[in-house]
Amino acid sequence: MSQIIEQGGYIPPPVRTSSSFSIDKDKLIKGIFRISTFLTAPSSVEDILGKILDEVVDSMGFDRGIILLLDESRENLVTRVVKNYSDEEAKRAYSVHLNLKKHDSFETRVAKTGTYIALEDSEKDPRTTETDRKISAFYKRGSTFYAPLKIEDDVIGIIAVWTKEKTRFLPNEIDIVLTFANQVSIIIHITHLFELNREKIEQLLILQEAVSDLNSTYSIERIHEILIRSALQIGKAEKALIYFLDIEKNRVFINDGERGFIDDKNEYGARIESTIIPRALDSDAITIQGPDEEEGNAVPLFEGHRSEVAIPLKVKDRFKGVLLLGMRNGVYSQGQINVLDILVNNAATSYDNAIMHSMLSFEAKSLKTEVEKLKEREDILLGFHNILGKSKKMVGIFHVIEEVAKHDTNILIQGESGTGKELVSRAIHRQSLRNQKRFVDVNCAAIPGTLLESELFGYEAGAFTDARKRKIGLLEYASGGTLFLDEIGDMSPPLQAKFLRMLEDGYIRRLGGNESISVDVRFIFATNRDLSRMVAEGSFREDLFYRISVVPIILPPLRERGDDLVLLARNYVEEFNRKFNKKVKGIAKEAEEILRRYSWPGNVRELKNIIERIMILRDVGRYITPENIPSEIKSSAVQDHVARVDELLPLTSSTERIDYKLAVEKLTGRIRERILTRALELSGGNKTKAAHLLSISRYALIRELKKVGKEGESGT
């Protein structure tokens, strides 16, 4: 006998008619648990429904199952998933919709009443309708259980499971199926909610990506690009335009999604007037125009794209803009507009940053050029690394320095005393790649021969009587840097030989030592002696000369530097103004003339000393006048001018013959000697003072004394 069991109705004592139907509780609990995990990993509704149906059919021992959900109209039950259906059955199940009004079947009845139906004999049950019979015959249903899928009192669909054979349902089995049905309902509900929010989630994901892109750029074009791309996606629009007004410059930027440009040709200008853009700009509020609105005479900016939204984009007070979206059909949801608003606000911040950045970098650039200009001016004033000079000869020398500084070649600087040889050597070091390392200078004229050797090469303890401790030589000390050997012409011949060997081998041994120490030093040599003549005379090694003079630099005497003299003189006036707290404005023209006529044997050093003397001793007014200039400069300048050369001539008759070189040597030697003696007299034998009087260095004085055979002379 068959029975209909309805919820709330009479439930007869359970009698099993088929032993094939039993519940494995363990399996069931696992199934319920598995279903609940679907909640946390939502995928598509179909996918989840399929899995649930599998669980219900398998764990309860049914043969087949189907889930039907109500469609949007809530009138049709539509097959969503089937279990264990043949292809033909499945095809039919998916193609037939059960209409709640038209079809009277167990399915529609359960959906309408929200009450389950358990049929033990699907074909013979008295409630079976024509429709049921057809369905049942086709799918060969023995016993069927129909449960509603409900969210609270709202039916959303049904689940039907059945066995081929007839069976009886036990009340607890019914409870279990209903529990499953409840779970299914919840999961469907959640999945639906997720689906409904999917759009929103997608929008937020686009927004998130856009914001992170916006934050990583300072390029206005890139900001336009990101804004347009993301806005089109979020608004599901087809057309976008960014209208951007530079209030100060009264320019309009446009980016219509295809290109960005300044609208100076007024391509868009006129058209924009009649769109919603001015309204959005003026009201500073989001302005929407639906596809059917004709209100306010606003004309769509993009033809045929009648559904528009304009979102104001405000960057401080200087810039005002609008993002406009256009779409052919449909409307913008409030959700879309909210997300678009957030997007535009973010873009505005990025605009602000980008503008700030470009202004700052513009300022940085102009500051840099300003600094460069100052530097240039300073360079002109100061020549090069404090070497003043604008004359052709000096500028040529600056070029050479720049050229050679970077290479490690040996450099020989020649020039009269006071021409700036040391200054140049320091400039070369500073300009070189070694400028972070030491610059070591050694004056070969100031250190006696053997001492110079140990100074340069160093010694081991016990190398000679006084050598108590090992001493590192200057060649080692200068390692990595530059060694400036001044007055190289004064190096003794034995040391010249040893030095040459070092240059050739590239290593040294300390005195009394065996260890070979490699030398990594850049050499600059200087002398005011005529080395090539010394080579000719045999007092300087020719091979060494060629070694050291790879790049010769010859500094011109001051008298050959034209206007550099005045430049230097003015510079020293400034320097001593600062030093002595004076306010001398410059040098009077006539005084300048006198300085120009003088021959400056002591070159720049002499000039510096003279200016210093004038500034300390003379009562200088606003300008240095001829009266302020020491008489020896004036008279010598005059003498130079009208020099009575014949007075000095050793040749007295046309028959007399002399050795020219010797005569010149003697004559100049005599003059030198007289000057040196006089200077020493005046300074009471103090060599430092005498050197100062002559505007030469102390070493130069000693050297000069040597030349005239007065080196042994006492003095300090």
Site residues for ligand ATP per CB under 6 A: 383, 387-389, 415, 417-423, 528, 568, 604-605, 608, 696-697, 700
Residue, CB closest to ligand ATP: 420
For the bound state, the minimum distance from the C-beta of residue 557 to Mg ion, rounded and expressed in Å, comes to 14
CA proximity to 38, closest of 201, 154, 188, 155:
188
The secondary element (H helix, E strand) that includes residue 471 is: strand 471-472
For the bound state, the minimum distance from the C-beta of residue 218 to ligand ATP, rounded and expressed in Å, comes to 46
CB closer to ligand ATP out of 96 and 395: 395
Q: Two tokens at 234?
A: 């979020």
For the bound state, the minimum distance from the C-beta of residue 596 to ligand ATP, rounded and expressed in Å, comes to 16
CB closer to ligand ATP out of 160 and 423: 423
CB closer to Mg ion out of 312 and 383: 383
| Chosen from ligand ATP, Mg ion, none, partner binding at 605 (C-beta under 5 to 8 Å by type) | ligand ATP
| Chosen from Mg ion, ligand ATP, none, partner binding at 419 (C-beta under 5 to 8 Å by type) | ligand ATP
Q: Which stretch binds Mg ion (CB under 5 A): 238-246, 359-367, 418-426, 613-621?
A: 418-426
For the sheet with 307-315, list strands across it: 260-262, 251-255, 239-246, 319-327, 307-315, 287-289
CB closer to ligand ATP out of 166 and 426: 426
CB closer to Mg ion out of 76 and 697: 697
**Sign of the dihedral defined by the CA atoms of residues 257, 261, 265, 268, in that order:** positive
HSE-up of residue 429 (Cα within 13 Å, Cβ side): 25
Alpha carbon 114 to its chain's center: 68
CB closer to Mg ion out of 485 and 511: 485
d(CA 237, CA 712): 102
Contact call for residues 387 and 398 (beta carbons, < 8 A): yes
For the bound state, the minimum distance from the C-beta of residue 382 to Mg ion, rounded and expressed in Å, comes to 20
For the bound state, the minimum distance from the C-beta of residue 421 to Mg ion, rounded and expressed in Å, comes to 5
Alpha carbon 168 to its chain's center: 79
For the bound state, the minimum distance from the C-beta of residue 418 to ligand ATP, rounded and expressed in Å, comes to 5
Neighbours of 290 (CB within 10 A): 14
d(CA 153, CA 297): 49
CB closer to ligand ATP out of 110 and 388: 388
Alpha carbon 613 to its chain's center: 54
| Chosen from ligand ATP, Mg ion, none, partner binding at 700 (C-beta under 5 to 8 Å by type) | ligand ATP
The secondary element (H helix, E strand) that includes residue 118 is: strand 117-119
Q: Two tokens at 678?
A: 């006089």
| Chosen from ligand ATP, Mg ion, none, partner binding at 528 (C-beta under 5 to 8 Å by type) | ligand ATP
CA proximity to 501, closest of 551, 549, 544, 454:
544
Sequence-distant (6+) residues with CB within 8 A of 655 are none
422 binds Mg ion (CB under 5 A): yes
Strand partners, 518: 507
- DSSP secondary structure code for residue 66 in this structure: E
| Chosen from ligand ATP, Mg ion, none, partner binding at 174 (C-beta under 5 to 8 Å by type) | none
* Contact map string, positions 42 to 61, toward Mg ion, x by CB under 5 A: --------------------
CB closer to ligand ATP out of 109 and 421: 421
| Chosen from Mg ion, ligand ATP, none, partner binding at 418 (C-beta under 5 to 8 Å by type) | ligand ATP
Q: Which stretch binds Mg ion (CB under 5 A): 386-394, 420-428, 454-462, 682-690?
A: 420-428
| Chosen from ligand ATP, Mg ion, none, partner binding at 420 (C-beta under 5 to 8 Å by type) | ligand ATP
Strand partners, 253: 244, 262
Instruction: Name the CA dihedral angle for 120, 121, 125, 128, rounded to a multiple of 10 degrees.
Output: 100
CB closer to ligand ATP out of 60 and 696: 696
For the bound state, the minimum distance from the C-beta of residue 482 to Mg ion, rounded and expressed in Å, comes to 15
CB closer to ligand ATP out of 290 and 601: 601
For the bound state, the minimum distance from the C-beta of residue 624 to Mg ion, rounded and expressed in Å, comes to 27
Strand ranges for 217-318 from DSSP E: 239-246, 251-255, 260-262, 287-289, 307-315
One-letter amino acid at 376 equals E
> What Rg, from alpha-carbon coordinates, does the chain have?
53
For the bound state, the minimum distance from the C-beta of residue 542 to ligand ATP, rounded and expressed in Å, comes to 23
Q: By CB under 5 A, what part of segment 635-654 binds Mg ion?
A: none
CB closer to ligand ATP out of 80 and 605: 605
For the bound state, the minimum distance from the C-beta of residue 676 to ligand ATP, rounded and expressed in Å, comes to 15
CB closer to ligand ATP out of 214 and 604: 604
d(CA 522, CA 520): 7
Q: Which stretch binds Mg ion (CB under 5 A): 32-40, 208-216, 416-424, 648-656?
A: 416-424
d(CA 176, CA 18): 19
Ramachandran angles phi, psi of 156, nearest 5°: -115, -10
| Chosen from ligand ATP, Mg ion, none, partner binding at 80 (C-beta under 5 to 8 Å by type) | none
586 conformational bin, left if phi > 0, alpha if psi -120 to 50, beta if neither? left
For the bound state, the minimum distance from the C-beta of residue 445 to Mg ion, rounded and expressed in Å, comes to 10
For the bound state, the minimum distance from the C-beta of residue 585 to Mg ion, rounded and expressed in Å, comes to 32
Contacts to Mg ion by CB under 5 A: 422
